[in-house]
Every structure is written in structure tokens, then in C-alpha cells.
């Protein structure tokens, strides 16, 4: 396994900017794995802005909402891969399970994370994963939101345990946790 870096923090805390900075300090080429689904015009504009931010940095962009382990395996010799973000990945897994009328629980999430960790173990370069810290707010008032929060928390813990480095970003300031 190469090097795994997990970058977490609140919404708009500067996680993605920090992750991009780390990635662009490393020799390329670089693979950006985008998990965000295109759901409306505002999101389309946001995605376009993010693409422009990466335009000069030797980036290959792969848009994949669910099968990020497969993409990482396909890019296992790339010097740098950046996954942005695991929070949306968990959202997408839940959405696709609901759409298929399947239950997506902690057991299924663990299986997905185990598959991701196996792909990460095969990667020869640096992989940076961005995720939101969702456990610092109030307890959500409905079962779906609590399940989502719990699943993201589980994913974050599993990736943090395997990571070489973990950073918490607050107000744009990185704090190395591990």
C-alpha cells in the first residue's frame, strides 16, 4: 500500500482546497475521483468551478458515484488519486439501495468500506480521501438522517484507522490528528 491521507472537517471548512494543495505538491499525473451526482443547475455550476480549479494541475477526472474501489484499482499506478468525497459516496450508496428497495445498513457499509480499503491497499501512490465530519452537531430528528450520520461516521472511522495521516480542517486551518 502506498500512502493514505484522510481529510475531514465541516461543510465549507476548506477540506477540498487543502486536499488539492497536498495533491498538487506531489508529482503527477493525478486522478480526481468525483462522487458528486449532477442533480441541478447549481450543482452543475459548482462542478464546473471545481474542474477549473484543477485545470492546470495534470488532473484526470473520473466521475463515479458508487464504484470508487473499481476506479482506484484501475488507477492503482497513478502517483496521486484524490477522492472527493466519501460523504457523497455514502449518500449515493444509500440512494441506490433505496431506489432498488434494498436495506442499506451498517453491515452493507462495512462491506463497501472493506472493498474500498482493499483497493487502497493495492494502490502504489498517494490516495487522499475527503469526507465531512458529521458527528459534531445535534442528533437528527428522523431515522433516515440518523442512519446517514451513523454510516458516514462508521466510514470515517474505518478509513481513519487505515490512514497514514488524518487532518481535521476548521475555518481553513488544518490540524493533523494522526
Torsion over CA: 88, 91, 97, 100 (sign):
negative
Least confident of 78-92, 102-116, 128-142, 150-164: 128-142
pLDDT band at 43 (very low <50, low <70, confident <90, very high): confident
pTM, entire model: 0.93
Residue 42 lies in a domain: no
Residue 124 lies in a domain: yes
Question: Within 10 A of 31 (CB to CB), how many other CB atoms are there?
Answer: 23
Residue 56 lies in a domain: yes
Residue of 50, 75, 96, 123 with catalytic role: 50
Domain count, the chain: 1
Residue 176 lies in a domain: no
Would residue 50 show up in a list of annotated catalytic residues for this protein? yes
CATH of the domain at 63: 3.40.50.300
Distances (CA, A) of 123 to 26, 61, 77, 134: 15, 17, 6, 27
Residue 177 lies in a domain: no
Query: Residue 83's domain spans which residues?
Result: 3-8+18-37+47-170
72 Cα distance to chain centroid: 12
Least confident of 20-29, 135-144, 145-154: 135-144
Q: Is 45 or 132 the better-scoring residue by pLDDT?
A: 132
pLDDT surpasses 80 at 49: no
Residue 160 lies in a domain: yes
Residue 178 lies in a domain: no
Residue 161 lies in a domain: yes
pLDDT band at 18 (very low <50, low <70, confident <90, very high): very high
Amino acid at each position: 500500500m502506498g500512502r493514505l491521507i484522510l481529510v475531514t472537517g465541516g461543510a465549507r471548512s476548506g477540506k477540498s482546497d487543502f486536499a488539492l494543495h497536498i495533491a498538487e505538491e506531489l508529482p503527477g499525473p493525478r486522478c480526481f475521483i468525483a462522487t458528486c451526482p449532477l442533480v441541478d443547475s447549481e450543482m452543475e455550476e459548482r462542478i464546473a468551478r471545481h474542474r477549473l480549479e484543477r485545470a492546470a494541475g495534470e488532473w484526470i477526472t473520473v466521475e463515479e458515484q458508487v464504484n470508487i474501489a473499481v476506479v482506484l484499482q484501475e488507477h492503482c499506478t497513478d502517483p496521486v488519486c484524490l477522492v472527493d468525497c466519501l460523504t457523497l459516496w455514502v449518500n449515493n450508496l444509500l440512494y441506490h439501495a433505496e431506489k432498488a428497495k434494498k436495506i442499506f445498513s451498517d453491515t452493507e457499509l462495512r462491506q463497501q468500506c472493506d472493498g474500498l480499503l482493499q483497493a487502497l491497499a493495492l494502490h502504489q501512490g498517494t490516495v487522499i480521501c475527503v469526507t465531512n465530519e458529521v458527528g459534531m452537531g445535534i442528533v437528527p430528528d428522523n431515522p433516515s438522517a440518523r442512519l446517514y450520520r451513523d454510516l458516514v461516521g462508521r466510514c470515517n472511522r474505518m478509513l481513519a484507522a487505515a490512514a497514514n495521516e488524518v487532518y481535521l480542517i476548521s475555518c481553513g486551518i488544518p490540524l493533523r490528528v494522526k
